[in-house]
Chains A and B, each alone.
Chain A
Amino acid sequence: MKVRVHVSLKPGVLDPQGRAIHHSLEGLGFSGVNEVRAGRLIELDVADSVTDEALDDMCRKLLANMVIENYRIEKVAT
């Protein structure tokens, strides 16, 4: 089973990388971009026996830092 874990900074947490990307986009002449937030995509290939609870546990224990990040688990149809 393919799983995508989308990790993003919580609202309100400063994102200097997103700001730099935003700045760079403006430098390239793209207008109308209000805000950029950078996150992380982690793709997992796991056995079908891996439960939703286990995936959630993986996110909380390692893949995301719950102090500053949120995560979303997406199961990809194969």
Chain B
Amino acid sequence: MTFCCAVVTFPGSNCDRDMAVALEKVSGTAPLRVWHGDADLPEGLDFIALPGGFSYGDYLRCGAIASRSPIMRAVVEAANRGVPVLGVCNGFQVLTESGLLPGALLRNSVIRFVCRDVKLRVENAQSLFTSGYEAGQEILIPVAHHDGNYFADEATLDRLEGEGRVAFRYAEDVNGSSRQIAGVLNGAGNVLGMMPHPERAIEATHGGTDGRALFESAMKALVGA
């Protein structure tokens, strides 16, 4: 069975090709490419990816304009129907701006753009996206962002922790994120947003392959591959 996925491109996305290559490497099938102005998604999708980049030049707030683009209405609808959605970096910002995930991503507390490999701890290894990891496993994944400082009020953070919705946590303080949260799941577990880039850690030549298990987990869960 083929793994039918789509990568959404917004004006200013710049990791859409990386995401498409990663999905193809892992699944053997080239993902469909969807443009921000499209009103509909292709039929029968197993997986939707929102890539990193600087959609709409980060105008207003990172991800704000993209989250109101025509395709996002279809993505929100699909997510609410249970279709898995992965948002990486700017894709995470788009997910919080669209309301699919709680919280917001603020400017890094260190002010600087942070671009390096960071250690993450897998907090929830039972989700659709993380079942290929062990709980507590440390993985090395690159980050590259200026606005990755995850913020939510204390009650929301407690709820996320209590419900096992913190998927990944930074092993050290990278950007000032509340409770060092690097990736969060929605309540139903079919939407994951994360600042680090798993699609940049797929092949040995990337300097590591720790991102691969994320895509493999999703594929296994969805098509039993």
Contact = CB atoms under 8 A, between A and B. Distances in A.
A67 B64 CA distance: 13
Interface size of A as a range: 10 to 19
A65 B104 contact: yes
A36 to B, nearest CB: 13
A14 B150 CA distance: 11
Interface in A5-64: 13-14, 16-17, 19-20, 61-63
Contact of B108 (A16, A61, A62, A67): A16
B56 interface: no
B150 to A, nearest CB: 11
Interface residues of B, number: 19
A14 B64 contact: no
Contacts of B102: 67
For chain A, what secondary structure do more than half of its interface residues adopt (helix, strand, loop), or is it mixed? helix
A29 B154 CA distance: 37
B199 interface: no
B180 to A, nearest CB: 14
A63 B61 CA distance: 9
B109 interface: yes
Contacts of B149: 14, 16
Given A16-B111, A16-B176, A62-B68, A67 B151 contact: yes
B107 interface: yes
Interface of A: 13-14, 16-17, 19-20, 61-63, 65, 67-68
Given A13-B151, A16-B110, A17-B107, 15 more contacts: A14-B151, A16-B107, A16-B108, A16-B109, A16-B149, A20-B111, A61-B68, A62-B60, A62-B68, A63-B60, A65-B61, A65-B64, A65-B97, A67-B102, A67-B152
